[in-house]
Structure 1
Amino acid sequence: MFDSSEKSFDSSLSGLGNSSTYLDKDPLSSSLTELGSQQLPSVNAPVDYAGNTRATARAVGTLTATQTFSDWVGSADTNDYYSFNVTTPSNFSLSLTGLSADADVKLLNSSGTVISSSTAGDTTSESITTQLSGGIYYARVYRFSGDTNYSLSLNTTATPVDNTLATARAVGTLTGTQSFSDWVGTGDIDDYYSFNVGTPSNFSLSLTGLSADADVKLLDSSGGVISSSTASGNTSESITRQLSAGTYYARVYQCRGDTNYSLSLTATVTPVDNALDTARAVGTLTGTQSFSDWVGSADTNDYYSFNVGTQSNFSLSLTGLSADADVQLLDSSGGVISRSTASGNTSESITRQLSAGTYYARVYQFSGDTNYSLSLNATAVAPTPTPTPTPTPTPIPTDWYSQNLLDAQIITLTSSLAADGNLSRNDMISIFRDAKDGSVIDANELTDLRTLVSNSTLFTMADSVKVLSNKIANSDVANTRSTIGNLFAGSSDTQMENLIGKWFLGTARPVASGTYSYVSGSLFQNGLSADDVYQGQVGDCYYVATLASIAQEKPNYIQNMFTDNGDNTFTVRFYNNGVADYVTVDRYLPTYSSGNAVYAGWGGGSYTSTSNELWVALAEKAYAQLAESGWSRSSTSTNSYAAISGGWMDTVIRQVAGLGTSSFEAVNMNQTQLINLVNSNQILTVGFVYAAGNTLGVVNGHAYTITAYNATNQTFHLRNPWGSTHADVTWSQLVSLRGIIEWSNT
């Protein structure tokens, strides 16, 4: 039974439209427990000024500026409708405030379809902001829970006139910087600005002061997008471009949220050094001249023209970079003589010997914007006297050895080996080994070795033997990088043997994947062919594609590149600015556990096959070894296959064949020129760095050998050094792919 604390319903306890709660006292305790809530009829509900359906909606009429209405919704009046007209495209806003319970609001079109809703929880105010065209609309205020009074405000303002290309804000001719402040949001999603550029100009745009996410686009006169900036959140936006004379638009637009903004537009006249014919004229280059400038998105190229009056040693340095810029040395026709393309903000440099003539230095953006300092230097080369024919060496008088050498044992051995006037590779190996008697090379022995090398012209000695002997007796940067070290008075016999192994026996093999295995077969099998080339697991397409072209067009250059030493080693010749340099390789090559090649293939399959043809694999291995000497690759390269990943074909032509080169993007050539090159015996290659996403079967970031032209279907055959997935492309396709064509000048 209930005790005397039980409460029955008392209407005086109930607010308008509220519920009463029945409480029951637990007979076993003095606490009260809630039995539940029950909806009770409302008493004396307020007058309803707004209708409960669209048909009975409160008629606001044509909405201009702001109109405000007070009413209530609750259990006895769940909906209030308001109808209003908009006569012109307008920015519309609605607010529902003064809530003591949860009410929501919707914006409906003339058919009752919901355009937008606001459904914040509890007593939080509601709001809607949008853009409306002319027509009839409804605002529906409705109860979610509880009963509440409310204040409804409706507002329209005519849509700004800068929301389309046709109604863009006219800036006029843009010179210098002009700034504008405005806002974009749900009620004004686009702002357009039209401006003119009178002459080719560097253009920049900045959008700042954002409190929400707005973006910006640069459009051409037809509304086509030239560039966009779409940073997230309230991050500022910017665009930098080079524009030709004409009409343009800047479009500022809402991504999400509403925000004020500040827009700055700047145009400055484009520098005149952006092409060969407008290059900055340096004049005749003598000594060093330096220049400071910048390259970036708005000024991608700077050209400098200069003359060299006589045969000169030329050097160029590009320093002070904060982003990635590169440099090229061009001939008078714009053909690439040499380039430097270090990554990031690493300085660039080029060193070449130039004959008299006109040249260009091209500084260009790779990524980002950067200031730079460019230094150009030319020093005349002393005239080379006409060489006097060297007579066939005659045996050196015996007293020469005793008069010029110090160590008795070296005197005896050398005079014996050179009795016929010759010092061969094997002779020099014997002399070097003899010098390490007593397990150390003393000062006299070291002096004698250097004396023999410096007087090598007295003997009949192969050029490769002279060069390699000098690397042992004197120095080479590869000695120190390999940790063997240069020879010195006190060097051990172990160090001497390591130097002999490195330079004469090919035992200093490049760091590689797989396992080194002795490979059977011959240096050449049935002549040379481009089809001998199969690239392996290192990114040296530029190198092996060039080897393929040399094999096809000038096979004797490959044959003369190698000297078979008769002891399963081969001396391999390269050219450093036209001067021969050499390394020695042995038959050991990296293999997989299957016995096949890790790197360049040798055609016969397993390393045990006698049908293997070794020249490509050995030339690749030699190039990897050469990298440690510092001149063929970067100045910090190591003796490794990884060191030869990435490069350009014209560099290989100069370093392997010793020939001058040319390099042009296809767009700067014509079809007849390329056909003539194909039909010549010039080394001919093409590389692609702008062909991402093409559907022609051409691999981007890859080099090919151009081996043939098919006049019937007018296609050029591009041999892939992978040995498969070759491509046949027309001239127009080659131009569209922006192929970079590089070839030997002879």
Structure 2
Amino acid sequence: LTAAELDSFVTKASPEDLAFYNQLLTCTDDSGWNPFDDNGLPEGRRRDTLSLMLSKVSPENLAKFTAAFPGVQPTFTNTDAYEAGGNSQNGQTNNGIHWAPPSDPLFQDGVSADDVNQRQFGDCWYVASLAGLAQKDPAFVQEGIKQNPNGTVSVRVWDKEGNYHWVTMTADLPSDQNGNPIGTYGNGESWPAYYEKAFAMVYSDDGDDERGYGGIEGDDPKKSAPYLTGKEGEDLTTGGFLGIGEHEDKSLESLKEAYSSGKVVTVSTPADEGLDKNHPAEWGNTYHSNHAYYVRGFTDDGKVILGNPWGVSGYPPITVSQEQFNKYFGNAEAFDAP
């Protein structure tokens, strides 16, 4: 259907008919006719179908369409940020979390790692990878997001087979009671929020059909690479977290070699809250346990400069020596920037 034809169909169809069509798309149980066929569409094809339709519907029909096809929005009812608000009522919690459009454009002055500012959702593993990619190849990141004529936003996301898809979403974002976005955001620009929203719509580590912000909290930075670039990430360290000062094969030279070859490099910190109080004072509040960082560069004397995905304005980069890295960091990983 053309955009005009699709919009005419959505205008004339009753909400009940549209909801039934959504049921046909999403029910993948056995049809009952024989044991080898299925109803509906697999999640990936369903996402492509709904994304294409959503990109064509007129602004006047967006609310009707999203009500009939709730799968075009990721959930945020299963996140720590939402649960902190208490009971849900009419799509909001008692701390006011709800969907609202941002007041800022996609871009203000292009793409930069300094734009990326993780907020309330616990997806540092993804956001650190996104910031590192924005640093290494800002043009690639900017080419991977577009605003459609009807106001929806499409983001390029790769699947597990290495094929990219344009994931289309409405322009609204999880916001607090004052309308301020609570997810990853930028400095006067909203592109990081839509990368995060698209990822929340497609990522599922356990194969569950329900996609949402809760599903992207707490995971491994290496797992984000295939969705951002279509290529697998790699481990740069073999020892992982063995205890304070007991890591293996964590030479900063291996990180520098990967970084200098054009790769995005991320590192993680162990889940040891004692380190939050005992880290070097010059790191201030930038260091945090159970967190992910991205490599921004190296000093002339071989120390690594790490960026915190919480944003450079409040959490400036920290410089880490080999000895400090062995004690406070681990699990270095890398992936190719296109």
What TM-score comes out, normalization by structure 2 length? 0.67
CA displacement at 1:521 relative to structure 2: 1.9
Q: In structure 2, how many angstroms separate the alpha carbons of the residues matched to 1:720 and 1:711?
A: 21
Specify the alignment match of 2:148 in structure 1: 565
Give 1:498 deviation, angstroms: 4.7
Shift of 1:501: 5.2
Match of 1:583 among 167, 171, 192: 167
Counterpart Cα distance in 2 of 1:684 and 1:575: 19
* CA deviation map 1:587-631 (0-9, x unaligned): 21222234432222332xxxxxxxx3011111112222224xxxx
* Whole-angstrom distance in 2 between the partners of 1:727 and 1:438: 54
Asked if 1:686 corresponds to 2:267, the answer is: yes
Residues 1:590 and 1:745: Cα distance change in structure 2 (over 3 Å): closer
User: Partners in 2 of 1:728 and 1:535 — Cα distance?
Assistant: 20
Contact 2:153–2:170 (CA under 8 A) maintained in structure 1: yes
Tell me what 1:740 maps to.
Answer: 331
* Stretches of structure 2 lacking an aligned partner (at least 5 in a row): 26-38, 51-63, 83-96, 239-247
Distance 2:179 2:11 in 1: 39
Distance 1:658 1:477, change over 3 A: closer
Q: 1:637 to 1:691 in 2, by over 3 A?
A: farther
What amino acid maps onto 1:681 in structure 2? G
CA distance in 2, matches of 1:646, 1:616: 18
Q: Report the secondary structure of 1:584's partner residue.
A: strand
Percentage identity across paired residues of the two chains: 25
Residue in structure 1 matching 2:157, options 561, 565, 574: 574
Contact 1:554 1:681 in 2 (8 A): no
Match of 1:596 among 180, 198, 207: 180
Give 1:585 shift: 1.8
The 8 Å contact of residues 539 and 645 in structure 1, kept in 2 or not, is answered as yes
Which of 251, 265, 278 aligns to 1:670? It is 251
Residue 564 to residue 501, structure 1, CA distance change in 2 (3 Å): farther
- 1:478 deviates by 8.9
Q: Paired residue for 1:624?
A: 200
One-letter code of the match for 1:688? T
Among 641, 650, 660, which residue is 2:222 paired with? 650
Say whether residues 1:475 and 2:41 are aligned partners: yes
Q: Alpha-carbon deviations, 1:256-292, whole Å to 9, x = none?
A: xxxxxxxxxxxxxxxxxxxxxxxxxxxxxxxxxxxxx
Match 2:303 to one of 701, 715, 720: 715
Highest RCO, 1 vs 2 (Cα 8 Å, sep ≥ 6): 2
The secondary structure found in structure 1 opposite 2:186 is coil
Q: Is residue 528 from structure 1 mapped to residue 117 from structure 2 by the alignment? A: no
2:267–2:329 CA contact under 8 A, matched in 1: no
* CA distance in 2: counterparts of 1:438 and 1:528, whole angstroms: 40
Q: 1:650 to 1:428 in 2, by over 3 A?
A: farther
Q: Does 1:548 align with 2:131?
A: yes
Question: Structure 2 CA distance, aligned partners of 1:432 and 1:634?
Answer: 36
Distance (Å, rounded) in 2 between the aligned partners of 1:511 and 1:438: 24
In the superposition, relative to structure 1, how do residues 615 and 690 fare at CA in structure 2: closer, same or farther (>3 Å)?
same
Preserved contact between residue 570 and residue 585 of structure 1 (Cα < 8 Å): yes
C-alpha distance in structure 2 between counterparts of 1:592 and 1:558, whole Å: 27
Written as runs of structure 1 = structure 2, the 5 A alignment for 1:22-41 is none
When residues 670 and 427 of structure 1 are mapped into structure 2, their CA distance, relative to the original with a 3 A threshold, is: farther
Q: Is the 8 A contact 1:665 1:738 kept in 2?
A: no
The CA distance in 2 between the partners of 1:669 and 1:682, in whole Å, is 17
* 2:185 and 2:193 in contact (8 A); partners too: yes
1:583 counterpart letter in structure 2 = V
After superposition, give the CA deviation of every residue in 1:77-118 in whole Å (9 maximum; x if it has no partner).
xxxxxxxxxxxxxxxxxxxxxxxxxxxxxxxxxxxxxxxxxx
Between structures 1 and 2, the one with greater strand share? 1
CA distance in 2 between counterparts of 1:602 and 1:710 reads 27
CA distance in 2, matches of 1:670, 1:438: 60
- CA contact under 8 A between 2:185 and 2:191: conserved in structure 1? no
Amino acid at match of 1:687: S
Q: 2:245 — aligned with what? A: none
The C-alpha deviation readout for 1:681-712, integer Å capped at 9, x for no partner, is 22111112266533245322100011110114
CA distance in 2, matches of 1:501, 1:440: 11
Q: Is the 8 A contact 1:690 1:737 kept in 2?
A: no
Of 639-648 and 576-585, the range deviating more from structure 2 = 576-585
Backbone CA RMSD of aligned residues: 3.8
Report the AA paired with residue 253 of structure 2: T
Contact 2:236 2:255 in 1 (8 A): no
Q: 2:292 aligns with which of 699, 703, 712?
A: 703
User: Which AA in structure 2 matches 1:701?
Assistant: N
Change over 3 Å in CA distance of 1:432–1:650 after alignment to 2: farther
Whichever residue aligns with residue 557 of structure 1, its letter is: F
Tell me, what secondary structure is at the counterpart of 1:665?
A: coil
Amino acid at match of 1:717: I
Distance across 1 between alignment mates of 2:5 and 2:294: 40
Aligned length: 269
Provide the residue aligned with 1:511 in structure 2: 76
Taking structure 1 as reference, are residues 592 and 745 closer, same or farther at Cα in structure 2, changes over 3 Å only?
closer
Aligned match of 2:319 in 716, 720, 728? 728
Is the contact made by 1:709 and 1:715 (CA closer than 8 Å) also made in structure 2? yes
What SS is found at the alignment partner of 1:568? coil
Structure 1 residues not aligned, in runs of 5+: 1-413, 418-425, 450-472, 485-495, 604-611
Counterpart position of 2:213: 641
Return the offset for 1:438.
12
Question: Which amino acid letter does the alignment assign opposite residue 621 of structure 1?
Answer: K
What does residue 296 of structure 1 align with?
A: none
